[in-house]
Amino acid sequence: GGGVIGCEFATVYGELGIRTTVVEMFDRLLPTLDRDTSQAVTESLKERGVDVRTGTKIITMKATKKTVSADLEGGETLKAARALIAVGRVANVEDLGLEDAGVELQGRIIRVDDACRTSADGVYAVGDCAAALQYAHLASRMGAIAADNATGHAVRDPLAVVPQVVYTHPEIAMVGLTEAEARATGRDIRVARFPLASTGMARAFGDTAGEVKLIAEKAHGEILGAVVIGQHAADVIEELTIAIRNELTVEELAHTIHPHPTFVEAVHEAAELWLGFPIHTTAG
């Protein structure tokens, strides 16, 4: 699998010098994330000697005491010492008596409202069993919401703005809509990309790979999505998460003073670039 977990482990194995092959059935790695993230991670893995196979299905797998073999669609067979199965996880909600308790499911996920309440009175659900995105930070927020409501403190959160992080090299983070999703809404959007190579902090750290990508509606500058590729992406994405959650505009980001030198100032630079008056780059 070439999703988040598969790519993270492939990065680790590749950097340890272990011959590694990633097999992904979709046409690209990280198929649910913005396409730019797929390209960055694919290039990085290949530079580390990882064999990336996309658009490829495994038909059967066999294991002996010493090897694992995988038969691919098309007739090729791959052999390795170990196989990591990273094709996704499903919630463990079977045989819990949920139906008897009146707890409704949506597929394999427990249905909850914006207070993390299930369809059964007094029963709450949080985390991977109640959310499509399987992230610890989302589960933690849901736990706080459920605890507040269960103890009589009314709290609601639609949980519509959730940052996603992939701990590869380069690090990947995104929030909101992908570029493809934003265009699919039919709104007129503009995209700006600011390269980390144009920032002093990235140069000081000796690793300038990556960029900040802003996706926003042209008419009012509402930020619809953002992607950060590079060092400390998981930290930089938080400012953009706050911006999207509070419906800030690109102009408001551009007019906010950012400290220098930092990685987060690339957000400010990307906002200026989106508005059409970049100072430190001419890239788009």
Tell me, yes or no, if 169 is annotated catalytic. Answer: no
The two most distant CA atoms of the chain are separated, in Å, by 63
- CA neighbours closer than 13 Å in the CB half-sphere of residue 23: 19
Classify residue 198 by its DSSP letter: G
Q: pLDDT tens string for the chain (284 positions)?
A: 999 999 999 999 999 999 999 999 999 999 999 999 999 999 999 999 999 999 999 999 999 999 999 999 989 999 999 999 999 888 999 999 999 999 999 989 999 999 999 999 999 999 999 999 999 999 999 999 999 999 999 999 999 999 999 999 999 999 999 999 999 999 999 999 999 999 999 999 999 999 999 999 999 999 999 999 999 999 999 999 999 999 999 999 999 999 999 999 999 999 999 999 888 876 65
- Write down the pLDDT at residue 106: 92
Tokens of 36: 């730019």
Model pLDDT, residue 279: 86
SS3 11: helix
**Other CB atoms within 10 A of residue 34 CB:** 25
CB 249 within 8 A of CB 180: no
Show Cβ contacts of residue 197 under 8 Å, excluding neighbours closer than 6 positions: 203, 208, 209
Q: Is residue 257 classed as helix, strand or coil in its secondary structure?
A: coil
Of 137, 258, 260, 280, the catalytic one is 260
| Rounded CA Rg of the chain | 21
Q: Which amino acid is present at 47? A: E
Three-state SS string across 70-87, please? EEECCCCEEEECCCCCCC
pLDDT at 282: 66
Q: For position 283, what pLDDT does the model report?
A: 62
Bridge-partner residues for 62, per DSSP?
69
Q: What is the pLDDT of residue 138?
A: 97
- pTM given for the model: 0.92
Q: What are phi and psi of 233, to 5 degrees?
A: -60, -40
96 Cβ contact list (under 8 Å, min separation 6):
none
At residue 237, the pLDDT reads 98
User: CA 278 to CA 270: how far, in whole Å?
Assistant: 8
